[in-house]
Structure 1
Amino acid sequence: MRDATPSAPGPTRRLVTAGALGAVVATLAGCGIRLEDDAPRVPLVPTREPIEAEEELLRLHAAVVAASTTSLVSSDPVAPLLPPLHARQATVLHDALRQRGLPESALTSPSASPTPTPSATLATPSGSAGSGSPRPTAPAVPRRTVAEVEGEVAAAGTGLEGAEAELRPALVAILGQAHAALELAAPVAAPGSGVSPAPSASAIPSVSAEPDVPPPWSSPDALVPLIVATRRATWLLEVAAARSPRAVRTAWLRDIGALESLTSDLVDAAGSSAPPPDLGQTLPRPVTTPAEAATLATEAMTTLLAATGAALRAVIDADPEAAFAALPGWLGTVAAVAHRHGMRLTAFPGLA
């Protein structure tokens, strides 16, 4: 006999579809997946939220990409060294931003390619002189100076103090490399010429949109390790210069002056937190020959560059705004002097 009790109705197609979509949304949300900016809008799937200082990071990325492909004036001594450094910076920035959810489309910018000249010359194809239509040749790309290109990279640092804390030391290092290149590319006056010496990277104008007066340091104690390390390197370089031939000593006076200026900036920024100079410094070993003096100078700058890089995180975390206003120029000065004493330029000076 057939059971007269009616069976419970099965789920409708609409309920099944809604349940499946809900499960997909829950899975996506649990995995932290977000749609890219240019993807079609899907109901219930959250869109990507911009990361901290995203616009500023993209501007810096575009600047280093452009610098990696720009043809530089060959008369600049450091010109051949710079494109590979910027290519490395672009790769690291690209990967870091992709890991943080930025879509590939956001990292592809027309400004990342050198701009050709507006007019192209016309040429007749080889072997068909006087016949056929003229065919345009590839437009010549004008060569640019190191000062122009590196100045644009340095200027792209505005606003980066708002970036994620994990990224900020690398960002300062990128800007420091640009300042180092600016200082190394600046003309150097011959001794006795009466021409003013090349300015330090932190004094080069028009590389930043920030005002001339840097913001005050809210945590000046963080600068103490930099002051101690810079004073030590300056003293060692003075000793090395004093025990070197006159020609070498004269050339090194520029580097000693740059470190003294850096020390003055650091002490001014630290204010009452600045420690007094150490009057009891000693040499790590006897220095009696020019070769030993040169080795001492190289070791002093190697140590100072490493100490500056090691201090970046603490100094930036203590005061991001003041750090991004001052650290790139300070780091650039150290990297430039270190390069003049045998250290190679790197994409991220001071960082491993």
Structure 2
Amino acid sequence: MHTLRYFRHAIWVSLAGLAIAAVLGGSAGLWAAFNLALLETSLSFDNAVVNASILRHWDKRWQQRFLLWGMIVAVCGMRVLFPLVIVAVIAHAPPLPGPFSVYEWISSGHWPANDVLTMAIVAPHRYADTLQSAHIEVMAFGGTFLLQVFWHFFLNQNKESHWLRPLERAMQQLGRLEMAGVVLTLVGLLALASALPQPEAWRLLVAGIWGLIAYTVVNGISALMGSDSSVVRAGWGGFIYLELLDASFSFDGVLGAFALTRNIFLIAIGLGIGAMFVRSFTLMLVEKGTLSELRYLEHGAFWAIGALAGVMLIAPLAEVPDAATGGIAAVLIILAALHSWYANRRDRRGAGE
């Protein structure tokens, strides 16, 4: 019962969201929203662990700010507005109705379908196809950003604990090379681009470089605001960093959601429910000190980030099912948790002897 209190708000939001989904789409809408919530939760559990690993170093005020404001940005911004903005850029149309649209509707009784939100409502297949056409750019940007997060953790010279010791120690030694993460990422992007036709290769490279720039800028802002080399401290720099991190995690879920439904309201409900459970997991991990008790859990989460980044970057070459992606992350985190439990038990036995 003590643990369930962390999920109280998520459960109430789930019940309300699923009820609205049933009204909007009947049993099919309810089923789609339920499956989207499961998909988002399974794909983003590693996100919860990573968020908790950063938030545990923050004071209570900034923890609450991220968990509240970050939740609003995660649901409204990334799950609703972000896809609208992408389609708006591709279709050269405004993402939302403007005042002139309302005026025309009042004066003529006809709603002009010249904005992306209207397109998503009245022509969901066209909206989904337009969004999917940016698949390469979205995956390359998000995959590159997450890959830099992965390298930052494992190439860190101040990292003291290791889970997969031989491999992680070798990576830490590699981190002695200046800008090793940037070099490795650029080499990977060039290798992937060489396997694609020229137009797609160019799209992947440009979006990947923008992902690299975004990570560098946000990390630089965090450093200017007082973060050290290993932890993004509380403050607006850290807040922006975590929001971009959450955005990168959500890219594959947002695009994959259209395989279940083209209704943007059902997608927002399903992904929003999943985001609420991720927030609840994050809060539980921070307050219960789970990361301190399970010493390798954080490592497992960052390995899961590396796996997700790899899947996103090879998406233009080979499609990996979302279930497989979530399964890989879950297996890595579970193995890390089990190994932590075994190591703790071994240490207690040694201390008893």
TM-score (norm 1): 0.29
- Structure number with greater Rg is 1
**Larger relative contact order (Cα-Cα within 8 Å, sequence gap ≥ 6):** 2
